[in-house]
Amino acid sequence: MTTARLHNTPADIAAAAALLRAGACVALPTETVYGLAANALDADAVRGIFAAKGRPADNPLIVHLLCAADAVPLVAPGEADKLTMLGDFMPGPLTVILRRAARVPSVVSGGLDSVALRIPAHPVARAVLAACGLPLAAPSANRSGSPSPTSAQHVLDDLDGAIAAVLDGGESAVGVESTVLSLTGDVPEILRPGAVTPEQLCALLGEVRVAEAVLAPLSAHTQAASPGMKYKHYAPRLPVVLVRGSAENYAAWCNARACLALCFARDAQFLRVPVFCYGAETDAETQARLLFDGLRTLDTAAAALQDAGGAAKLIIAAHAPAPNGVGLAVYNRLLRAAGFAVVEV
């Protein structure tokens, strides 16, 4: 199939909506990352998402809506009321898990009795939602397991020829996937950290738990509350190691190895290996925005070095951010990209 390149024009928004109504998969910009959308009420259309991404069938999708009222037919009676208390962050980079209604196809929810809902803020995503009048199931628009896409080019790098169209809305402003908050238990629980932080949710809701799997590998016996957490994720082709320590010690560790550095701005002066700076050490928002582009860019740089006959076994050494605020989301993605390989220097 040829993947159409669409832009933010009324004609292209209408074209994207028509493709979605006809059951096709279309990649859309959102403020978090690009999503691969399909009609959430059409099980065949949703199966197309899993096929294009190579995504495991038990990893459920997030359903995107225009407003909280659109959630009512998708969730158990009374559940949609819970969204009103999150009004500050909806629309925004927040996904909420509620008990689902029977009309949500089980392929969307990976067989669970709950459903993940998000109201995106991105004007292009909202224009498509309004034009097609459908709830849209959309995971990140990358090949399963690879770094999430934050530009239309990233989507094409992974899925050109496998999806009907990509709608180019520029670079994603947040850069990491939404915060996933489960409201199905006694205490609200963060299953995946994102730009809406535990601190912000605590201030709004009182008690909020952060799931153990955010910072630890799941043991063989525990069941993942969020099935996505059990898979290797966000990973470039090169192995990643997460390095914790001062700028000087991080640089010394990198300089002693065949590696490329995903580093903070101040680290660069000490480094003698190829670098991608993903922001200042204290600027977690910038780290989040540049993280996935950095992993993809370093992968490409390594391939060029290897083609030129350079070191055969390169790794990416990522300087670890402090795991709080938005930094918790950055740390969580890097930890998974690294398969939990962390060194202290």
Residue ranges that bind Mg ion, judged by CB under 5 A: 139-140
Give the nearer residue to Mg ion in terms of CB position, either 145 or 245: 145
Within residues 72-101, the interface with ligand AMP by CB under 6 A covers 97
- Please give the residue whose beta carbon sits closest to ligand AMP in the complex: 228
How many chain residues are in contact with ligand AMP, going by CB under 6 A? 20
- Asked if 291 touches ligand AMP (CB under 6 A), the answer is no
Q: What is the 3-state secondary structure (H, E, C) of the chain?
A: CCCEEEECCHHHHHHHHHHHHCCCCEEECCCCCCEEEEECCCHHHHHHHHHHHCCCCCCCCEEECCCHHHHHHHECCCHHHHHHHHHHHCCCCEEEEEEECCCCCCCCCCCCCEEEEECCCCHHHHHHHHHHCCCEECCECCCCCCCCCCCHHHHHHHHCCCCCEEEECCCCCCCCCCEEEECCCCCCEEEECCCCCHHHHHHHHCCCEECHHHCCCCCCCCCCCCHHHHCCCCCCCCCEEEEECCHHHHHHHHHCCCEEEEECHHHHHHCCCCEEECCCCCCHHHHHHHHHHHHHHHHHHHHHHHHCCCCCCCEEEEECCCCCCCHHHHHHHHHHHCCCCEEEC
Q: Which of 227, 321, 323, 327 binds ligand AMP (CB under 6 A)?
A: 227
**At closest approach, how far in Å is the CB of 345 from ligand AMP?**
31
- Asked if 59 touches ligand AMP (CB under 6 A), the answer is yes
Provide the mask over 193-212, with x wherever binding to ligand AMP is found by CB under 6 A and - wherever it is not: --------------------
- Asked if 114 touches ligand AMP (CB under 6 A), the answer is yes
- Asked if 62 touches ligand AMP (CB under 6 A), the answer is yes
- Asked if 317 touches ligand AMP (CB under 6 A), the answer is no
Provide the mask over 117-156, with x wherever binding to ligand AMP is found by CB under 6 A and - wherever it is not: ----------------------xx----------------
Residues contributing to the site for ligand AMP (CB under 6 A): 59-62, 97, 109, 112, 114-116, 139-140, 177, 180, 191-192, 225-228
